[in-house]
Amino acid sequence: MPEPTPTICPLPTRAADFATLPEALDYAAGSSRGLNFYSGRGQLEEALSYRDLREQAVSLARRMLGAGFVPGERVAIVAETDGDFVRTFCACSYAGLVPVPMPLPMPFGRGDAYVAHLRGMIETAQASGVLAPPSLSGWINEAAQGLTLRVAGSLSSLEALADHEGPLPAVADDDVAYLQFSSGSTRFPVGVTVTHRNLMANARAISLYGLQITRTDRCVSWLPFYHDMGLVGFLLTPLLSQISVDYLATREFARRPLTWLSLIARNRGTLSYSPSFGFELCARRASTATLPPLDLSSWRAAGIGGDMIRPHVLEEFARTFAPHGFSPRAFVPSYGMAETVLAISFAPLDTGVVVDRVDLDLMEEGIATPAGDGARARDFVRCGPPLPGHEAEIRGADGTALPDRALGRIFLRGPSVMRDYFDRPDETARVLSADGWLDTGDLGFRVDGQLVITGRAKDVIIVNGRNIWPQDLEWSAEQVEGLRSGDAAAFAVDDGGSERIVVLVECRKTDPAERSALAAAVAAALRDGHGADAGIVLVPPRSLPQTSSGKLSRNKARQLYLSGAFGEGQ
C-alpha cells in the first residue's frame, strides 16, 4: 500500500523562480514531495514523487523523440486524473514538444459527439500525435482515423520504441510550454498559446501574492487537468513551488463529493479550490448523508473561481461545515481565465467573501450604485486587486477608461497574458492589442481597487434599452420549488428586430398539469423579480449543454433551441 508524499521536506522552497518547466522539475526532484492519486472511496492508488516523475518523464521524452517527434510539434493528451497524464505532459516539456490537454468524455454524453469534438481539437492544434488512457482507445482510433499522426494510442504504444540518443533539446523561456484550449462556452474552442515565461509569471504571482504559499502548505484538488484551474492551479503551480498535492478524479467527485473534504481533513490540506457548484454539491450531500469525522480547520484558502460566484451557496457551505472546523474567512474569491494562464486577481487572504450589493435598476443603466433599502438589488463578490505586475482597466464602449463603480468591459495587461491564439491571427488581433492589452470579454467594475465581475459581455440581454443579465434570470428561476442550480438557461433570440427572452428549464415532472404549473411559476418569478416577460421552455433532465469545464454553455443551448432540438426552435 503506497504512502502519500510528505507535506514538509528539507528542500528550500522556490516559488516558480525558474526559466522553464524542465528546470523547475529538475529542482523539485530533490524533494520527497509529489502527487498523490486517490480513488473515489479515498484509497491512495499512486504516490508519484517529483523525483520519480522527473526520471520517468526524461525516459519517456527520449522514447517520444525516438518515435520521430520533432521539437516544437504538438502532442494531444487526453487528461485523465492520473500519473500517466502528468508523466506525458512533463515528458513533452523535456523533449521540446508542446503538450495539448484534451477533455475526457462528458458524463451521459454521446460517443459520436465526443469523437467529433476530439477530432476537431486535434486538427485545430495540428497535433502530431494523441495519447490517451487505454479505456478510450476505441474512441481515440476513431477520432484519429485518416489523420497523419506519429502515435495514436496509450503510453504502452511507446514502450517498445528505442530511446533517442544524445542530449535532450534545450528549452528556452520564450518557447511554448503548452496549448490550453478555451472551454468552448461560446464557440468551438481555440488554443491559447502559453510560453514558459507566461507560465512562470503567473505561477510566481499565485505563489507569492495570491496564496502566499509556505513550506507547510498542501493542495487538494478534484479539478480536471484539461481546465486551466486544474492544470495550472493544482498541477503546475504546486510542482513549480515543490508542494505535495492530493487528487480525486473529477468524475469521482461528482459521485462522492464528500471524499474531497475527507482528503483535506485526513492529510491536513491547506489549499483547495472549486467553482460555486462544488461547494453547493457538498452542502447538499451533507444534508442527506451521515458525515464522516471531519476536521477542516487546516483549510486556510478555500478558493472560488471558474464561474460566477454565488454568495448564498458559500454561506450555506460555511454554515454546514462550521461544526467541522471550517472558517468562512478561508474563502478566497478569485478571477482568471486561460488567456492569462490562470489567475488575474485574488481577494485578500483571511477576509472571506466581501459582498457588494448593487441597485439592479441603476446597474441596468451602467452604474454599480450601492443598493438602498427597498431597492431591487443584486449581490456581487469582490475578487481582489490585479496581481502585482499586472494592470486592469474598465473601459466604456468608446474604449476610454471608466471611474470606480462604472460598469464596463474588463481589459488586462501583464506578463501572464497569452502570446496568441494558436494559428488564429484574426482571433488574436480581435482581443489582443499591439501594446499588450487583452479584451477579456467580461463585464465588471472596480471598487476600492478590487475587481467585481458581473458577467460575459455577449451574454447580456438588451430589452427595451435595459441590460438584463442571464444569470439573474437563471438564479431567479432556480428558486422556484422543484428546481435547483443548473436547471435553467436564459438567452435572447431575435423576434422581428427586437430581442425576446427564452428560458430553458429542466423539468423532471411528467404530469401535464404539473408541467404547466412549473412553467407558469417560473414566468411569474421572472416578471416579479425582473419585470421581464420570457418564454419558458421545459426540457428533459440533463439536456442543458455544458462546456468541458462543467459550466453552462448558453450559446450551445441557444443553438439547440433555434435548431428545434427542444421542439420550439425557429
Domain presence at residue 545? yes
Average pLDDT over every residue of 22-33: 97
Does the structure show a pLDDT above 60 at 119?
yes
List the alpha helices (DSSP H) in 290-382.
Answer: 311-321, 360-363
**Vertex 186, ends 336 and 124: CA angle to 5°?**
90
Residue 184 has a pLDDT of: 47
Does the structure show a pLDDT above 60 at 501?
yes
pLDDT category of residue 187 using cuts at 50, 70 and 90:
low
Paired sense of beta strands 488-494 and 499-506, if any? antiparallel
Residue 185 has a pLDDT of: 41
Q: Are 450 and 347 in contact (CB under 8 A)?
A: yes
Q: Which amino acid is at 364?
A: E
Range of the domain at 468: 460-562
pLDDT (tens digit per residue) in 438-450? 999 999 999 999 9
Residue 503 has a pLDDT of: 94
pLDDT (tens digit per residue) in 277-313? 899 999 999 988 888 889 999 999 999 987 788 899 9
Tell me whether residue 506 is exposed, middle or buried, using C-beta atoms within 10 angstroms of its C-beta: 0 to 12, 13 to 18, 19 or more.
middle
Q: Which amino acid is at 452?
A: V
Q: What is the residue whose three cell numbers read 522527473?
A: 54
- Distance (Å, whole) CA 183 – CA 359: 31
Q: Are 328 and 314 in contact (CB under 8 A)?
A: yes
Task: For residue 530, give the CATH number of its domain.
Answer: 3.30.300.30
Averaged confidence pLDDT in the chain? 92
Q: Which amino acid is at 260?
A: W
- Distance (Å, whole) CA 158 – CA 164: 12
pLDDT category of residue 497 using cuts at 50, 70 and 90:
low
Q: What region does 365 belong to: left with phi over 0, alpha with psi -120 to 50, or beta?
A: alpha
- Distance (Å, whole) CA 58 – CA 203: 23
Question: In the chain, what percentage of residues exceed pLDDT 70?
Answer: 96
- Taking residue 519's Cβ as centre, other Cβ atoms within 10 Å add up to 18
Residue 376 has a pLDDT of: 84
Number of domains observed in the structure of the chain:
2
Domain presence at residue 167? yes
pLDDT category of residue 462 using cuts at 50, 70 and 90:
confident
Domain presence at residue 297? no
Domain presence at residue 139? yes
Domain presence at residue 455? no
Does the structure show a pLDDT above 80 at 172?
yes
Does the structure show a pLDDT above 60 at 568?
no
- Distance (Å, whole) CA 344 – CA 224: 20
Map residue 40 onto helix, strand or coil: coil
Average pLDDT over every residue of 394-422: 97
Domain presence at residue 491? yes
- Distance (Å, whole) CA 219 – CA 231: 13
Domain presence at residue 182? yes
Does the structure show a pLDDT above 70 at 340?
yes
pTM, whole model, 2 decimals? 0.89
Task: For residue 185, give the CATH number of its domain.
Answer: 3.40.50.12780
Q: Which three cell numbers stand for residue 279?
A: 461547494
Residue 569 has a pLDDT of: 46
Does the structure show a pLDDT above 50 at 61?
yes
Domain presence at residue 416? no
Residue 301 has a pLDDT of: 98
Q: Give the up-direction half-sphere exposure of residue 133: CA atoms within 13 A in the CB hemisphere.
A: 13
Paired sense of beta strands 34-38 and 245-248, if any? parallel
Average pLDDT over every residue of 451-468: 82
